[in-house]
Amino acid sequence: AQSVTQLDSHVSVSEGTPVLLRCNYSSSYSPSLFWYVQHPNKGLQLLLKYTSAATLVKGINGFEAEFKKSETSFHLTKPSAHMSDAAEYFCVVSEGTGFQKLVFGTGTRLLVSP
């Protein structure tokens, strides 16, 4: 079974500083990986996805992630944090070759201070 591990439950940054949210995955074959964001009392919004094309994936709102097979990692980064980035972030792997289900990590809460 595929799984993802989010290495930090909470990350605190100051506005304008870089963001790094860490994710490691476990997969028996080339996985499809996603990052979703969840703002308080809201549903999940797709930030970006990796599907074995370019290893550096650009998403919405200035976020990007790099797929590193040798390290089994898919870390999410942003050069400069904004107050509106404060939310819960989920690293997700897709499992299944036919009908696919999403397997979520436990989430990382990003706190952004002025």
Partner 1 sequence: DAGVTQSPTHLIKTRGQQVTLRCSPKSGHDTVSWYQQALGQGPQFIFQYYEEEERQRGNFPDRFSGHQFPNYSSELNVNALLLGDSALYLCASSWRETGTQETQYFGPGTRLLVL
Residues that bind partner 1 (CB under 8 A): 32, 34, 36, 42-46, 49, 51, 90, 94, 96, 98-107
Collect all residues with Cβ–Cβ distance below 8 Å to 48 and sequence separation of at least 6.
34, 35, 57, 58, 59, 60, 63, 64, 65, 76
Nearer residue to partner 1 within complex by CB, 53 or 56:
53
In the bound complex, what is the minimum distance in angstroms from residue 114's beta carbon to partner 1? 26
Cα–Cα dist 90/87, whole Å:
10
Which of 40/114 has CB closer to partner 1? 40
User: From the CB of 18, what's the least distance to partner 1, in Å?
Assistant: 24
Residue tagged 């972030």 (tokens): 89
